Amino acid sequence: MVKRFLFPAMAGILVAGVSHAQMKQIPRDWHMLDYSKDSIYGISANRAYDELLKGKTSQKVIVAVVDAGADTLQEDLKNVIWHNPKEIPGDGIDNDKDGYTDDYYGWNFIGGKSDTSNVTKDSYIVDRVYFRYKSLFENVKDIKEVKKKDLYNYKEWLRAKELELKTQSPQAKEAADLQRITDLLPQIEDFKKTLVKDTFTLDDVKAYEPLDRRTSAEKQIYTILFQRVAANTNNYELPAALNKLIDSLKNASVLPTTPPIDYRGNVVKDDYNDFNDKYYGNANISAGDVMHGTHVSGIIGAERNNGVGIDGIADNVALMELRAVPDGDEHDKDIAEAIRFAVDHGAKVINMSFGKPLSPQRKWVEDAFRYAQQHDVLLVHAAGNDGEDLMENPNYPTQYFEKDTAKSFDNMITVGASGPIEPLLVAEFSNFNAQAVDVFAPGLQIYSTLPGKSEYGPLSGTSMASPVVAGIAAVLRSYFSSLTAPQVKQIIMQSVTPIDFPVVNPATGKQVSMKSLCVTGGIVNLYNAVKLAEQETKK
């Protein structure tokens, strides 16, 4: 689900306890900086290139971005987007005979036969699971009544029912996310002076060309909020309209009576229950809203040193775009098929900035993870933005499998989100756990590519932290090609910047040790990782 992994960020919009002056002093590309040189908790990427990687040879690494699609014409991405070497774009022929016609940039697993027929909006997994099994389980009084073969589905249904009734329901979560953005309005009232209009609407906001980072972020916030209310709502009417919408979403957090629309089924038209029915979708990886996937892609591998925009973390990558995440919750089959496609087409790193609280076809995804493991592919996954303990509230897919999470995949790394300075070190929205989250990485106000020829802007979320780690992994696999996926994971974990001062637990607000929030107790560091990789490859 994209929305739970995407928050607008802007210079000057504050987190409690951090002054406006402090935020203004944080550089735009802070996540690339080095603490010892810049007093910013970045990943030391610039230092790694300047001191360790200069003059060294590398080989191109394919990084698959399983996301919402991307803008292939963005100036900082167009030269680093993967091109299938065996496919001729747009000729309507499956040149490489892989079952996917015209899969030149990747594949769209949430599309119909035509590239103009695509899933954009979709339902939520809690609603889907609740209604799928409601008739089967709603009259069960005791678990002993449930057949052994139905136990997993029964437990998923109970969890769905529980989530429907809690504040974590999709509607209530959407209300909370919307409230978070709405609360920013008083801080950006001066936008009317920027527009030179006392009263303005969505059309006025869309027509405005930002002058700097601040006005770009203000435009982004107003655009998001205006799009949620009635057309022609103006800035003075906006707060009341949003409050009405938020109240309606909160009041909807009861057991629903109407099944969700089958958005995916109505478009894709595959046999969803048959995993072998896999050659569905189309080649249009730029369908719908591609802001999330475009931003994620830029963090990993926006073209470096080209004199425009930003520099991505990895300097010799091809970004394979796999569209599988709609505006709603993704489907297990699409994620599993996307991972297998990535593996079959040469990806060595797969970024997964998505997640959901239930996984009805979990086995399909775990089998795909196992397939990636067998082919030495590293999986990088965002921990999620609910500010929760992942062992209490899993965010699927997880690296754990079998009963009671008895085993974990050695080729998967889970990432929480960090900020640039000590008061912001653990992002207030980040999920955490001393066992289920491996590392933290920059995920607060990360500046990257946006849809449009030369558009850029900051976003926050573990969705931004995950591609930071995927970028580091790509660098290691590019410059130290003999390293295996498990070795790369261990190097990333062993080379973190350790945090030895108290940080804030996102769920409780209390000060705790960083070790209580993730396995390593630290922030990923490319400079340290390269040094460790050099040592490892000399053994």
Judge if the upstream peptide bond of residue 239 is cis by omega within 30 degrees of 0: no
pLDDT of residue 400: 87
Pairing of strands 106-108, 503-504: unpaired
Residue 471 CA: distances (Å) to CA of 12, 154, 329 = 27, 39, 25
Strands (E), 68-136: 106-108
pLDDT of residue 11: 32
pLDDT of residue 8: 44
User: Domain 3-122+268-537, what architecture?
Assistant: 3-Layer(aba) Sandwich (3.40)
Distance CA 382, CA 368 (A): 18
pTM of the entire predicted model: 0.84
Spatial contact of 241 and 230, defined as CB atoms under 8 Å apart: yes
Which has the closest alpha carbon to 476: 371, 380, 368, 365?
380
Tokens of 407: 């085993």
User: Which long-range CB contacts under 8 A does 181-184 form with residues at least 24 apart?
Assistant: 181/7, 181/8, 181/221, 181/224, 181/225, 182/225, 182/239, 182/242, 182/243, 182/246, 184/8, 184/10, 184/13, 184/221
pLDDT of residue 538: 86
Q: Where are the domains of the chain?
A: 3-122+268-537, 125-251
pLDDT of residue 402: 67
DSSP-assigned states of every residue in 117-136: -B--B---HHHHHHHHHHHH
- pLDDT in 10s for each residue of the chain, 539 residues: 433 444 443 333 334 445 445 566 889 999 999 999 999 999 999 999 999 999 999 999 999 999 999 999 999 999 999 999 999 999 999 999 999 999 999 999 999 999 899 999 999 999 999 999 999 999 999 999 999 999 999 999 999 998 887 755 677 778 888 888 998 898 888 899 999 999 999 999 999 999 888 888 899 999 999 999 999 999 999 999 999 999 888 776 578 889 999 999 999 999 999 999 999 999 999 999 999 999 999 999 999 999 999 999 999 999 999 999 999 999 999 999 999 999 999 999 999 999 999 999 999 999 999 999 999 999 999 999 999 999 999 999 999 886 656 789 999 999 999 999 999 999 999 999 999 999 999 999 999 999 999 999 999 999 999 999 999 999 999 999 999 999 999 999 999 999 999 999 999 989 999 999 999 999 999 999 999 999 999 87
pLDDT of residue 16: 43
Residue with token string 């775009």:
321
